C-alpha cells in the first residue's frame, strides 16, 4: 500500500476494501463465506443443544467442547456479517472505535479458542495417563475456573493493543484498510507515527499465546501417545487414539492456518495481497465451520445422541437400543 505525505488526525471513519485485487468477484466469494458462517452457527448451536440436553455429556471434555462452540459462534459472528456487507452490499465504512472493537473481539476470541484447545489437551492427558485421578482433578469447579482464566487471559493480553493504538497513534496517512476485517497490524500500518511499540507488543501477544499453548499441547499429546502405545491390549490403544483424533484434527487445522496468516502478514512481502487477505479471512471462518463437523463425526457419544435425535424426529416415541 502506498501512502501520501499528507497526514490527518485520528479519523472517525475507516474504509475496509475487502480483498484487494478481487473486488470484481467479491460477490461470488461471499457465497461460500456465507455458507461456512451458517454451518458454523447452526452446527455449533446444535452441538450446544446436544451437550445441554444430555446429562451423560456433562463430562469435562464436553463442557470444554461447549465453550469452544460458544467461542466459534462469537468469533465468526464478529467477522462474517460485516465481511458480507462489504462483499454483497458495498458497505465498506466502519467507525474507527467500532473497528477497534472488532479487532479486540477477533483477537480475544482467537486467544480464547487456543486456551480451550490447551485445556482439552490437558483433560485428555489426565484422562488417559491418570484415569483413576481424572474425576478428582477435573471437577466442574475446576472446569469453570479454567474457562474464566482462559477468557481473562485473552481479554487482558489483547486489551493493550487497543490502548496503544488509541493513546500512541494520532496521525494517519490514510483511512483505507486493505483488508476484509479490522486486524491489528492492518490498522497499525495506517499510522504516520512510530509504530514500533505496537508491532513489538503484537508479536509479544502472538508468541506468548501461540508458543506457550502450542508447546503444552504438543507435550501433552506426546505423553498421551507414549502412554497409549504402552497399553497391552490393542483395542484399548485404538480406543485411546480414537478419542484424541478429533482434538488433533481441530488443533492442526487451527494452528496451520494461524501460522500461515501470521507470517505472511509480517514477512510475506512477495506473496500477492489477495492471497494473504483471502487466507486470513478463511482462517477465521473455516475452524468454527469444521469444529462441529469434526467432533460430530469423530466423537462416538455425540454420534449416538445425534442418531437418537434423528430417530425421535422420524419416529416419535421410538427409543433406539
Residue 250, pLDDT above cutoff 60: yes
- Helix orientation angle between 234-267 and 96-129, rounded to the nearest 10 degrees: 160
Percent share of the chain, pLDDT over 70: 89
Query: What residue has cell string 465468526?
Result: 76
Q: Contact 85/102 with Cβ under 8 angstroms?
A: no
Section 188-200 average pLDDT: 92
- pLDDT tens digits for 20-59? 888 889 999 999 999 999 999 999 999 998 888 888 788 9
Is residue 321 very low, low, confident or very high in pLDDT (cuts 50, 70, 90)? very low
pLDDT at 276: 83
pLDDT at 251: 77
d(CA 181, CA 204): 22
Is residue 150 very low, low, confident or very high in pLDDT (cuts 50, 70, 90)? very high
pLDDT at 258: 74
d(CA 291, CA 237): 24
* pTM for this model (two decimals): 0.90
Amino acid at each position: 500500500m502506498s501512502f501520501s505525505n499528507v497526514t490527518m488526525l485520528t479519523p472517525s471513519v475507516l474504509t475496509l476494501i475487502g480483498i484487494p485485487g478481487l473486488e470484481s468477484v467479491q460477490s461470488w466469494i461471499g457465497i461460500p463465506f456465507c455458507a461456512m458462517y451458517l454451518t458454523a452457527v447452526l452446527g455449533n448451536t446444535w452441538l450446544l443443544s446436544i451437550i445441554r440436553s444430555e446429562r451423560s455429556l456433562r463430562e469435562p471434555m464436553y463442557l470444554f467442547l461447549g465453550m469452544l462452540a460458544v467461542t466459534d459462534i462469537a468469533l465468526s459472528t464478529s467477522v462474517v456479517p460485516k465481511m458480507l456487507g462489504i462483499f454483497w452490499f458495498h458497505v465498506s465504512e466502519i467507525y474507527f472505535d467500532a473497528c477497534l472493537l472488532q479487532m479486540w473481539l477477533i483477537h480475544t476470541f482467537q486467544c480464547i479458542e487456543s486456551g480451550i484447545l490447551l485445556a482439552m489437551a490437558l483433560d485428555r492427558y489426565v484422562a488417559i495417563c491418570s484415569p483413576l485421578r481424572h474425576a478428582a482433578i477435573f471437577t466442574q469447579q475446576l472446569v469453570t475456573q479454567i474457562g474464566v482464566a482462559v477468557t481473562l487471559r485473552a481479554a487482558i493480553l489483547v486489551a493493550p493493543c487497543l490502548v496503544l493504538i488509541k493513546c500512541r497513534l494520532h496521525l494517519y496517512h490514510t483511512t483505507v484498510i486493505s483488508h476484509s476485517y479490522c486486524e491489528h497490524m492492518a490498522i497499525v500500518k495506517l499510522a504516520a507515527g512510530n509504530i514500533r511499540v505496537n508491532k513489538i507488543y503484537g508479536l509479544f501477544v502472538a508468541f506468548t499465546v501461540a508458543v506457550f499453548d502450542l508447546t503444552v499441547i504438543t507435550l501433552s499429546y506426546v505423553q498421551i501417545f507414549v502412554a497409549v502405545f504402552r497399553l497391552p491390549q490393542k483395542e484399548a490403544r485404538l480406543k485411546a487414539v480414537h478419542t484424541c483424533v478429533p482434538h488433533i484434527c481441530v488443533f492442526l487445522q487451527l494452528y496451520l492456518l494461524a501460522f500461515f496468516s501470521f507470517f505472511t502478514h509480517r514477512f510475506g512481502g512477495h506473496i500477492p495481497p489477495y492471497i494473504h487477505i483471502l487466507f486470513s479471512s478463511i482462517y477465521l471462518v473455516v475452524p468454527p465451520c469444521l469444529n462441529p463437523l469434526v467432533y460430530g463425526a469423530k466423537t462416538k457419544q455425540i454420534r449416538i445422541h445425534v442418531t437418537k435425535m434423528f430417530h425421535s424426529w422420524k419416529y416419535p416415541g421410538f427409543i433406539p437400543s
